[in-house]
Amino acid sequence: MISTYEFSDEEKKSLFDVLNSVNANPYREYASFKREVNILILESKVPAKFLEVCAKIKDERRLLGINAQLLRNLPIDEVIPEFDQLDPVNDKYLKKTTFIGETLLELFSQLTGSPLLAYRTRNNGDFFHDVYADKKYTNTQTQKTDGELYFHNDRTAHPVRADFLSLLGMRCNEHNLIYTGYLDGKNILSGLSEESQYWLRQPHYITPYDEVSRDSNANQIDSDKHIILENQNTFRYYDTRTTFAHDAPQSAIKALLELKTAMTKAKKERVAINTGDLFSFANQDSLHNRDIVKIMDKDAAEKRWLLKTYSFRNEDAMNNHSQYFDPILPGFVAEI
């Protein structure tokens, strides 16, 4: 189930004015930036509608098990630059001089009680990432491709994985039919036998690291053996990547095949993220994909831009991973 919230143009303008008061650069001075956003909350400057929606989302996640929310017609930066697709990350540092989108995502994180995390080996340790095509990664299964993505969790191979992802539409051509698919873990679980659930909870599986991770750290080739199913309906899986270990028993292999069948049959939802839309959803208690139905403007599809954050479910979830953190900046994951 995906909850949807719509903001009026007047509410959008009111929120923009508040976000525009933050001055710190989130890429150069994240700690100061985070404090400035927190002050907006402490000084009661955040518009009532945004406070109300974030409080509802927090309750939906905590009390109702609704782990996907779509917020439409939110403010973003007035100038949306195009980046060099041979080096989009570093070009962003040069061209992006306002940070309305980043401030919105940080404010959303703080109000929903879901702390952001960053990885030392991903985009120079930034807390804000780009789903933006990099020519180097054409035809790969990474957020830097302009092609389709199979159902997965982000960072499946890594020991620290976000509980939630948030995607903010910065430049999205509505004539191109590009969707983010959402597959709730509860729907997958309902198609699995008790026996398959048992074997999926055993460490008989591996996931190769993605191309971007391998480029940033040559030691990242394959994950350690891991389970696929944990908690009630938490999945660690990347379709076409996650496979069984060489010494896995036949029952574990059979369970993996049943998982693929259950995914095919499970109810799926999909969202067209338009410019100014924020889609926030569970990373581990669901799977997601990118589904390209029709491209009317190829150039616009290549320059499609979603601003993205990783976050923990709450402070307790973050503290459970404290052994991976930089001691100075909590949430900064110092992975190998």
Residue 203, pLDDT > 90, answer yes
- Give the whole-angstrom CA distance, residue 27 versus residue 24: 9
Q: How many CB atoms within 10 Å of residue 278?
A: 24
Band (219; pLDDT cuts 50, 70, 90)? low
Q: How many CB atoms within 10 Å of residue 176?
A: 17
Contact 11/47 with Cβ under 8 angstroms? Answer: yes
Which of 93-97, 142-146, 210-214 has the weakest average pLDDT? 210-214
Residue 218, pLDDT > 70, answer no
Contact 194/151 with Cβ under 8 angstroms? Answer: no
Residue 319, pLDDT > 80, answer no
Residues present in the chain in total: 336
Band (86; pLDDT cuts 50, 70, 90)? very high
Contact 272/179 with Cβ under 8 angstroms? Answer: yes
Q: What is the pLDDT of residue 124?
A: 85
Q: What is the pLDDT of residue 121?
A: 75
Percent of the chain clearing pLDDT 70 (strictly above): 91
Average pLDDT over the chain, rounded to an integer:
91
- Give the whole-angstrom CA distance, residue 216 versus residue 212: 6
Which of 21-25, 116-120, 281-285 has the weakest average pLDDT? 116-120
Residue 329, pLDDT > 80, answer no
Q: What is the pLDDT of residue 331?
A: 60
Band (87; pLDDT cuts 50, 70, 90)? very high
Q: What is the pLDDT of residue 336?
A: 41
Q: What is the pLDDT of residue 143?
A: 76
More confident residue, 46 or 122: 46
Residue 43, pLDDT > 80, answer yes
Question: Distance from first CA to last CA of the chain, Å, rounded?
Answer: 36
Compute the C-alpha angle 285/274/8, nearest 5°.
Answer: 100
* Residues whose CB falls within 8 Å of the CB of residue 323, separated by 6 or more in sequence, listed in order: none
Pairing mode of beta strands 243-244, 234-235: unpaired
Q: Cα separations (Å) of 286 from 1, 73, 117, 136, 166?
A: 11, 25, 19, 29, 13
Q: What is the pLDDT of residue 140?
A: 78
Phi-psi region of 123 (alpha: psi -120 to 50; beta: other; left: phi over 0): left
**Amino acid identity, residue 160?**
V
Q: What is the pLDDT of residue 313?
A: 86
Phi-psi region of 196 (alpha: psi -120 to 50; beta: other; left: phi over 0): alpha
Q: What is the pLDDT of residue 223?
A: 80
- Nearest Cα residue to 119 out of 153, 169, 158, 156: 158
User: pTM for the whole thing?
Assistant: 0.92
Structure-block tokens of residue 61: 């996640």
Structure-block tokens of residue 269: 């939802």
Residue 158, pLDDT > 90, answer no
Contact 172/222 with Cβ under 8 angstroms? Answer: no
Q: What is the pLDDT of residue 294?
A: 95
Band (248; pLDDT cuts 50, 70, 90)? very high
**Which three-class secondary structure state does DSSP give residue 31?**
helix
Q: How many CB atoms within 10 Å of residue 331?
A: 19
Give the mean model confidence (pLDDT) for residues 232-238. Answer: 95
Q: What is the pLDDT of residue 301?
A: 92
Percent of the chain clearing pLDDT 90 (strictly above): 79
Contact 162/121 with Cβ under 8 angstroms? Answer: no
Say which DSSP state 61 is in. Answer: I
pLDDT, tens only, 124-150: 889 999 999 888 888 777 778 888 999
Residue 300, pLDDT > 80, answer yes
- Give the whole-angstrom CA distance, residue 316 versus residue 336: 23
Bridge partner list, 53: none
- Nearest Cα residue to 41 out of 92, 91, 107: 107
